[in-house]
Amino acid sequence: MTTHVTGHLRAILLAMVAMALFATLDATAKFVTHSLPVPVAVFFRYAIALLLSGSLLWKAGGPSFLATRHPGLHLVRGLLLLASTMGNFTAMQYLQLAQTGAIFFTIPLWVCALSVPLLGEHVGIRRWAAVLVGFCGVLVIMRPGSAGFHWAMLLALGNAMLGALYNIATRKVRSDPAETSLFYLSLFGSLGAVLPALHVWQTPIDWQWLLLVILGVAGASGHFAIIAAHRLANATVLAPFTYTQIIWMTLFGYVLFGNVPDGYTLLGAVIVVASSIYIFARERAHGQTGALPTAED
C-alpha cells in the first residue's frame, strides 16, 4: 500500500513538473516569436525534441524500438500536434498566456464530444451537460461581440480541438512503447515544419539561439516527465494536477509580459476546469481513460 501511495505521489510530482515545463515552453515561444517567424520557432521546437527523443530511444533499445504497427497514426498525430503548435504560437502573439491556457484546457470537453462520432463511445446526459457548461465558460473568456474579443481566441479554440484529435489518435497507439511514440511525434513534427520554416526563414542571432534551445528542451522534457508520470499512475489520478499549468501561465504572463488576466478570464477558466474535472470523475466512475488536459505543444 505504501509503495502504491509513494508511486502516485511521484507521478503527481512529475505531472506538476511537466506542467511547469510546458508553461515555460509557451512563455519562451511568446517571447521569441516577437522577433522570429512562428514557423522557424516551431521547427526548432521539434528538431531539438527529435534529437533528445532519438537519444532516449537509442538508450532504451536502439533500432528495435523504431518498429511500430501504427505508422499512419503516428504521422497523423505528428501533423495534428504540429498544426496545433503553429496555431498556438500564433495565438500567443496576440493573447495573454492565461487566456490561451484557459481556452486550451477545453481539450477534455472536445475529447468527450468527439469520442461519440470518432470512437463510438457512449456519453451520458451528465457529461454532455458538463461539456455545455464548459463551453459556456469559453464564452465568458472570449466574450464575442465585446471590446475584449480578439480573433486569435477562435484560433486558440481551434487549437484545442486539434489537441483533442491528437489525444484521440494517441489512444490508438498505446500498444507502442512511449519512447517510440515520442520519437515519431518529434520526427513528423520536424519534417512537417521544414517547408513552412524555409518559406519565412530568418537565421537566429545569439540570444535567440538560447531561447530556441530552452524552447526545445522544455517541450521534450515536459513530454518525458508526463510519460514517466503515466508509468506510475493513470490519467484519472493525474488529471486534476495538470491544471497547475494555468498557475504557471498566469505567473509567467505577469512577470515576463506584465499581463494581468481580467475577471472574465479567471471566471471562465474556473468554469472550464471544473467542467473538465467533472468529466474525468464521470469517466473514472465508468472505467474509461480520459485525455490529459495539458496545453502542451
Residues in Cβ contact with 78 at an 8 Å cutoff, skipping those fewer than 6 apart: 184, 185, 186, 187, 188, 189, 191, 192
Quote the cell numbers at residue 196: 513552412
- Mean pLDDT computed over 248-260: 95
pLDDT value for 30 = 96
- This prediction has a pTM of 0.88
Q: What is the mean pLDDT of residues 219-226?
A: 88
First-last CA distance in the chain: 36
Residue 266 pLDDT > 70: yes
Is a pLDDT exceeding 70 seen at residue 140? yes
* Nearest residue to 153 via CA among 78, 222, 103: 103
Residues 34/89, Cβ–Cβ less than 8 Å: no
Q: Provide the CA 266 distance to its chain's centre, in angstroms.
A: 20
User: Residues of 225-240 as b/e, b for ≥16 C-beta within 10 angstroms?
Assistant: bbbbbbebbebbbbbb
Question: Closest Cα partner for 15 from 297, 288, 253, 292?
Answer: 292
Centre a 10 Å sphere on the Cβ of residue 118 and count the other Cβ atoms it contains: 14
**For residue 287, what pLDDT is reported?**
62
* Cell numbers that stand for 127 in this block: 457529461
> Which tops the pLDDT comparison, 60 or 206?
206
275 pLDDT higher than 80? yes
pLDDT grade, residue 289 (50/70/90)? low
> Which of 16-30, 110-124, 201-215, 273-287 is predicted with the least confidence, judged by mean pLDDT?
273-287
Rg of the chain (C-alpha set): 18
Mean pLDDT highest for which of 51-60, 130-139, 237-246? 130-139
Cell digits for 185? 511525434
d(CA 43, CA 40): 5
Whole-number pLDDT of residue 76: 93
CA 267 to chain CA centroid, Å, is: 21
Amino acid 47: pLDDT: 95
Percent helix / strand / coil, the chain, rounded to 5? 80, 0, 20
**DSSP structural state of residue 148:** T
Dist. CA 193–CA 103, nearest whole Å: 24
Residue 176 DSSP symbol: S
Mean pLDDT throughout 66-84? Answer: 90
Per-residue pLDDT band for 5 (boundaries 50, 70, 90) equals low
Q: Mean pLDDT, the chain, as a whole number?
A: 89
Confidence category of residue 292, pLDDT binned at 50, 70, 90: low
List, for residues 29-46, the tens digit of each pLDDT value.
999 999 999 999 999 999
Phi, psi at 241, each rounded to 5°: -80, -15
The number of residues making up the chain comes to 297
The share of the chain scoring above pLDDT 70, in percent, equals: 94
What letter represents residue 260's amino acid? V
d(CA 31, CA 130): 35
**Averaged pLDDT, 151-178:** 87
- Residue 94, Cβ density class (10 Å: 0-12 exposed, 13-18 middle, ≥19 buried): middle
